[in-house]
Amino acid sequence: MSWIILMVSGVFEAGWAISLKLSHGFSRLIPTISFFVLAAVSFAGLAYAMRELPAGPAYAVWTGIGAALTAIVGMVWLGDGFSVLKLVSIVLIVAGVIGLNLAGAGH
């Protein structure tokens, strides 16, 4: 259950990062409120999951999901531009998260 909560929290991390972008430096009310709510939910889920999960792999999964989803949303909907290098970098983030989890499997 902790892994599921952690992964959902990673999605919320992407949500608060996107809300932060859309808030334009906290000058827009709805994205600013969304940022604070999504950040609170995301951090609460991370904190809950880390009660049972090892810190390194848990944090890597949380940030990896958030970073990858934020980059994808940025390229698809926010006009950040697409490149093969960006796509390869997202794949490397996912590979790093998987590697950390595999390395910690013996504990």
Neighbours of 7 (CB within 10 A): 15
Query: Of 15, 31, 7, which is closest to residue 73 (Cα–Cα)?
Result: 15
Specify the higher pLDDT residue, 99 or 41: 41
- Total of domains in the chain: 1
Give me the domain span that covers residue 39.
2-103
Give tens-digit pLDDT for 53-72.
999 889 999 999 999 999 99
**Whole-model pTM above 0.85?**
yes
Q: Is 28 left (phi over 0), alpha (psi -120 to 50) or beta?
A: beta
Using CA atoms, how far apart are residues 65 and 70, in angstroms rounded to an integer?
8
